[in-house]
Chains A and B, each alone.
Chain A
Amino acid sequence: MYWKYMKFNKVKNVGNIIFNNPKKNNALSIEMRYEFSEILNACNLDNDIKIVVIKSESNNFCVGADLSEFNSYPSIIESNLISKENTLWKDLYNFNKPIICITQGWVVGSGFEIVLLSDFVFSHQSTIFKMPEVELSITPISGGTQTLLKKTSISVAKEILLFAQPVDVYKAYDYGIVNFHSHDYDLLLKKVDEFSQNIENIELNRIKNVKNLLRVSSDENIFLSEQLEKIYSEVN
């Protein structure tokens, strides 16, 4: 199957989702988001895939939403419906297999929010994160106001979202957004390989359950998490 703005390949247990819209620095158009959703859902159903890696082959990871599509719908209601129909962000949040993002260059707006919805972030030192929404009189719509708080503190989240200042790799690492960074892109790929090999022999259900438990326990009250922990251990 071929997509216009995305590429996909599978290497052993790893599903590689690659942004492929270099002319627009991987700006996420509506069509690109649909393609992304389709691939993500396929990865979810494929039991051979234990980890998903999201990356770009061009110099920038993703510059956010494709603003050329903004203000182009004749009706506000239609525009509203498109944003509500899009479940990509919730699919990413609820995705039960580990997601790794490998970033380089600009990681802006919803590009940044994809990173926040992933589990591990490996960044090239050229990476710059930015949430420019308040400068454009829009608000984040891909979960950024919620997921940034899961990765870092409320103070840092407010600083990034309200001031719209760019954040370099070193700061992002200090904030807890980036797990590993290097000036050597090949080293990042090697680290991802090591990580994939580590969980290669772990049963898929166990990986899914642990990720699910971590998500629920960070979101719900601790007593519900305790109950789920018990149920999942009995099942396993």
Chain B
Amino acid sequence: MNDKEQISIKNKDNYIVITINDEEFSPELIHHNLQSIITEINTDKNIWVVGFDLTNVKQILNLDSRELIDNFSLTNLIINIKKPVIGLINGDVSNRLLELTLPMDYRIAGVNSFFRMSQMYDYNMQFDGATRLLPRIIGLNQAKQMIMFGKTYDSKAALKIGLINELVEDSNLNLTLDEKLLNLSKNSPLAMQFTKNAINFNLSTNTMQGMNSENDLYSILLNSHDRKQSINAFKNRKKRKPYLGE
């Protein structure tokens, strides 16, 4: 995978870290690059987990029409990544930048970060996922406080309401991201992918249909090499071999 302009990529073991280098950018200018990277991630059997380093980004510019947002939705790109995604953020994480982190599966933030979603006060109502995802992450009440009252949360409050999963010192941000990715990449890639799929399926259906889908995904895994060798190792009290993603 080649480095892209605006974006640098670190590929290590079974994980990948995508760093966005621009301090400020408009979604339509990064959409194409990001889309091609995500297509590669989804099809590359050797990438199991994905990290997004957004600590360089200060601001993502607003798009001024619904049509532009629909065509260049960064949220839809991220939500379509089949593998677990961890986001790294720091500083002023507001509006579109915060919105970009919402479809990620785990968010790590620097201790001095703060979070706002105040588009409404900037005469801009063009959301790219915030009204859908924020209530599901922090609950409807907190989401209304952020979106409708423009309430700012510091990092500790953001951790408490579940907007972020982990807080770390600025000096440990990248190290923590690497550790988390490495930790995740020890798990079964197929099981992680299918589990993520089942959870996200719940966003568009009811529990009974979700349970049926979960059952189908379970059945697909029954015949996988990783499952067989892992269960056999467990039964024989032996250490399992590293997963292959097969």
Residues of A near B231 (CB, < 8 A) are 67, 70-71, 136-138
From B136, B138, B217, give the contact of A139 (CB < 8 A).
B217
Residues of B near A145 (CB, < 8 A) are 195, 198-199, 201-202, 210, 214
From A79, A139, A153, A164, give the contact of B137 (CB < 8 A).
A153
Residues of B near A158 (CB, < 8 A) are 84, 105-106, 196, 199
Q: Does B78 contact A (CB under 8 A)?
A: no
Do the beta carbons of B199 and A80 come within 8 Å of each other?
Answer: no
Residues of B near A99 (CB, < 8 A) are none
Residues of A near B107 (CB, < 8 A) are 155
Evaluate whether A138 and B218 lie within 8 angstroms (CB atoms) in the complex, with A154-B136, A220-B206 already known. yes
The stretch among B29-37, B51-59, B60-68, B220-228 that forms the contact with chain A is: B220-228
Q: How far is the CB of B205 from chain A (nearest CB, A)?
A: 9
Do the beta carbons of A134 and B192 come within 8 Å of each other?
Answer: yes
Do the beta carbons of B227 and A137 come within 8 Å of each other?
Answer: yes
Residues of B near A153 (CB, < 8 A) are 136-139, 162
Identify which of residues 43-91 in chain A touch chain B, using a CB-to-CB cut-off of 8 Å. 67-68, 70-71, 76, 79-80, 83-84, 89-90
Q: Does B219 contact A (CB under 8 A)?
A: yes
The count of chain B contact residues (Cβ–Cβ below 8 Å) is 51
Q: How far is the CB of A113 from chain B (nearest CB, A)?
A: 10
Q: How far is the CB of B99 from chain A (nearest CB, A)?
A: 15
Identify which of residues 89-108 in chain A touch chain B, using a CB-to-CB cut-off of 8 Å. 89-90, 93
Q: Does B175 contact A (CB under 8 A)?
A: no
Q: Does B215 contact A (CB under 8 A)?
A: yes
Do the beta carbons of A137 and B224 come within 8 Å of each other?
Answer: yes
Do the beta carbons of B211 and A89 come within 8 Å of each other?
Answer: yes
Residues of A near B191 (CB, < 8 A) are 133-134, 136-139
What secondary structure prevails in chain B residues at the interface with A?
Answer: helix
Identify which of residues 123-174 in chain B touch chain A, using a CB-to-CB cut-off of 8 Å. 133, 136-139, 162-163, 165
The count of chain A contact residues (Cβ–Cβ below 8 Å) is 41
The stretch among B4-12, B110-118, B180-188 that forms the contact with chain A is: B180-188
Residues of B near A149 (CB, < 8 A) are 136, 199, 202
Residues of B near A141 (CB, < 8 A) are 214-215, 218
Do the beta carbons of B190 and A137 come within 8 Å of each other?
Answer: yes
Q: Does B235 contact A (CB under 8 A)?
A: yes
Q: How far is the CB of A218 from chain B (nearest CB, A)?
A: 8
Do the beta carbons of B223 and A76 come within 8 Å of each other?
Answer: yes
Q: Does A163 contact B (CB under 8 A)?
A: yes
Q: Does B1 contact A (CB under 8 A)?
A: no
Q: Does A226 contact B (CB under 8 A)?
A: no
Q: Does B25 contact A (CB under 8 A)?
A: no
Measured CB to CB, the residues of A under 8 A from B are 67-68, 70-71, 76, 79-80, 83-84, 89-90, 93, 133-141, 143-147, 149-150, 153-159, 161-164, 219-220
A-B contact pairs, 14 of them (CB 8 A): A67-B235, A71-B232, A134-B191, A134-B192, A134-B195, A135-B186, A135-B187, A137-B231, A143-B214, A147-B207, A153-B139, A155-B105, A155-B163, A162-B196
